Amino acid sequence: MMRMDECGVKVELISRSSPEYLKLARLLFTYRNLNAEKLEDMPTTDLYENHAQLLPGTRPWDATKKGRKRYSQDKKWWLSHIVQEEIKCNMYKYTIVRERETS
């Protein structure tokens, strides 16, 4: 609800307690970053966490045994550019390694 007030949307024909108003608020929240031009224009919302589900006894994969993947100069530049933008926008969080698990 507060988000509609922040972005300047004025809805006068629908009462705030009606189901249509809640549907409209959800729709606007879903597309809140539609007109963003830069990554900095999009505020961070939720932290995405990925937990790998490994079977017991799974051996770690070693990239050095298979040969290193080589990227073209263009691909390296784009990867570096994307990571630098994300660092600048504080999209990454430091983790502490504890007992072979990240927390």
Q: What is the pLDDT of residue 48?
A: 61
Residue 85 lies in a domain: yes
Q: Which domain holds residue 88?
A: 71-102
In a domain, 48, yes or no: no
In a domain, 62, yes or no: no
Q: Is the dihedral of CA 34, 42, 9, 24 positive or negative?
A: positive
- C-beta of residue 46 within 8 angstroms of C-beta of residue 52: no
Q: Tell me if 96 is assigned to some domain.
A: yes
Nearest alpha carbon to residue 92 among 101, 100, 83 = 83
- Tell me the whole-structure pTM to 2 decimals: 0.34
Segment 53-68 shows an average pLDDT of 73
Residue 30: pLDDT over 90: no
The rounded distance, in Å, linking the Cα atoms of 85 and 92 is: 11
Does residue 92 lie within any of the structural domains? yes
Cβ atoms within 10 Å, residue 79: 11
